[in-house]
Amino acid sequence: MSVMRQLTAFIEREDDLFVALCPELDIASQGNSVEDARRNLVEAIELFFEAADPTEVALRLSSEVYVTRLEVAVG
Protein backbone atom coordinates (compact mmCIF):
# COMPACT_ATOMS: atom_id res chain seq x y z
CA MET A 1 0.00 0.00 0.00
CA SER A 2 1.48 3.35 -1.00
CA VAL A 3 1.31 6.48 1.12
CA MET A 4 0.82 9.89 -0.49
CA ARG A 5 3.17 12.67 0.59
CA GLN A 6 2.99 16.38 -0.24
CA LEU A 7 6.26 17.83 -1.55
CA THR A 8 7.28 21.10 -3.20
CA ALA A 9 8.31 21.56 -6.83
CA PHE A 10 10.02 24.60 -8.31
CA ILE A 11 9.88 24.64 -12.11
CA GLU A 12 11.73 27.17 -14.25
CA ARG A 13 12.71 27.55 -17.87
CA GLU A 14 16.37 27.04 -18.71
CA ASP A 15 16.99 27.70 -22.40
CA ASP A 16 14.78 25.23 -24.33
CA LEU A 17 13.93 23.02 -21.33
CA PHE A 18 12.04 23.28 -18.06
CA VAL A 19 13.90 22.20 -14.92
CA ALA A 20 11.99 20.95 -11.88
CA LEU A 21 13.46 20.76 -8.37
CA CYS A 22 12.09 19.20 -5.20
CA PRO A 23 13.88 21.12 -2.41
CA GLU A 24 12.83 18.72 0.36
CA LEU A 25 14.89 15.93 -1.24
CA ASP A 26 17.25 17.93 -3.48
CA ILE A 27 16.10 15.93 -6.51
CA ALA A 28 15.80 17.54 -9.93
CA SER A 29 14.53 16.56 -13.36
CA GLN A 30 13.70 18.26 -16.64
CA GLY A 31 11.33 18.17 -19.58
CA ASN A 32 10.30 19.90 -22.77
CA SER A 33 7.26 21.49 -21.06
CA VAL A 34 6.22 22.37 -17.53
CA GLU A 35 4.04 19.25 -17.40
CA ASP A 36 6.87 17.02 -18.73
CA ALA A 37 9.26 18.42 -16.11
CA ARG A 38 6.67 17.91 -13.37
CA ARG A 39 5.88 14.36 -14.47
CA ASN A 40 9.60 13.49 -14.72
CA LEU A 41 10.23 14.92 -11.25
CA VAL A 42 7.41 12.82 -9.78
CA GLU A 43 8.93 9.73 -11.42
CA ALA A 44 12.42 10.56 -10.11
CA ILE A 45 11.09 11.05 -6.58
CA GLU A 46 9.08 7.82 -6.68
CA LEU A 47 12.16 5.92 -7.89
CA PHE A 48 14.21 7.49 -5.08
CA PHE A 49 11.70 6.32 -2.45
CA GLU A 50 11.65 2.82 -3.98
CA ALA A 51 15.44 2.44 -4.10
CA ALA A 52 16.80 4.49 -1.20
CA ASP A 53 17.64 3.05 2.17
CA PRO A 54 15.38 4.47 4.92
CA THR A 55 18.45 6.04 6.55
CA GLU A 56 19.24 7.95 3.35
CA VAL A 57 15.63 9.10 3.06
CA ALA A 58 15.74 10.37 6.67
CA LEU A 59 19.02 12.21 6.05
CA ARG A 60 17.86 13.89 2.84
CA LEU A 61 14.23 14.64 3.64
CA SER A 62 13.81 18.18 4.90
CA SER A 63 10.52 18.58 6.71
CA GLU A 64 10.52 22.38 6.63
CA VAL A 65 10.63 24.27 3.34
CA TYR A 66 9.41 27.85 3.24
CA VAL A 67 8.50 29.63 0.01
CA THR A 68 8.33 33.40 0.20
CA ARG A 69 8.87 36.51 -1.91
CA LEU A 70 11.79 38.86 -1.27
CA GLU A 71 12.19 42.55 -2.00
CA VAL A 72 15.80 43.58 -2.59
CA ALA A 73 17.51 46.80 -3.64
CA VAL A 74 19.13 46.55 -7.08
CA GLY A 75 21.65 49.11 -8.31
The predicted-structure confidence for 2-59, as pLDDT tens digits, reads as follows 888 899 999 999 999 999 999 999 999 999 999 999 999 999 999 999 999 999 999 8
pLDDT confidence of 1, banded at 50, 70, 90?
A: confident
CATH architecture group of domain 1-75:
2-Layer Sandwich (3.30)
Amino acid at position 55, single letter: T
Q: What is the torsion angle, in degrees rounded to the nearest 10, for the CA atoms of residue 41, residue 68, residue 72 and residue 22?
A: -20
